[in-house]
Amino acid sequence: MAVTGPDVVLRNPAYIHETAHLYGKVTVEENASIWINVVARAEHKEIVIGAYTNIQDFVMLHIGDRTPTIIGSHCSITHHCTIHGCTIGDNCLIGINSTIMDGCVIGENSIVAGHTFLKEGTVVPPNSIVMGTPGAVVRTQNNFVRNRMNAHIYYRNALAYAAGNYREWERAGFQSDLMAELQRLQSGEQN
């Protein structure tokens, strides 16, 4: 069982790994997943993890001095990220080992490339691809389908892990299930 403090609110997440540590005012919305060795601390302000969002292995979530950490729905916060007092819109992917600092706002459907550092107060418009140190928008494109697919894969994996199945991605039919989801998203269905 994950280590959680008394102020943590779990709204029917898909999966929380037993090594996760969640303390303070932390809310995990429905069908979200919290993976191996994640730490989330909110001594004041709050941390909100949106529905269907995955917080991957070794991610650290903390609040800023003046800012909460709010992560939208269907996001992927990938391995070894530091997310500190910022707001991340729906359908975003934050690449491996990125750092997003206090007061940053990431617009929906954006991708932050691996190893990006976003300094305090950076505002990223929706549908952006960001990279660098310090991070800057390098391209504008709607990443909705790509990011939703990544979140969907992690959602399916979370359900499998919760059931004790650690090889979901090799299951017969897994690829066809993904193709059906891709077609659904490309046709404009968003639920």
Domains of the chain, first to last: 3-140 (2.160.10.10)
- Provide the pLDDT for residue 1: 66
Task: Check whether 145 has a pLDDT greater than 70.
Answer: yes
Q: How far apart are CA 107 and CA 124, in angstroms?
A: 6
- Provide the pLDDT for residue 97: 98
What the block records as the tokens of 78 is 């990938």
CB under 8 Å to 164, separation ≥6 — which residues?
A: none
Q: How far apart are CA 25 and CA 35, in angstroms?
A: 19
Position 28 confidence tier, pLDDT thresholds 50, 70, 90: very high
- Which phi and psi angles does 190 have, rounded to 5°? -120, 0
Mark out the alpha helices in 40-97 (DSSP H runs): none
DSSP designation for 147: H
Q: How far apart are CA 113 and CA 134, in angstroms?
A: 12
pTM to 2 decimal places: 0.96
Average pLDDT over residues 70-86: 98
* Nearest by Cα to 71 from 80, 62, 79, 1: 62
Task: Check whether 49 has a pLDDT greater than 80.
Answer: yes
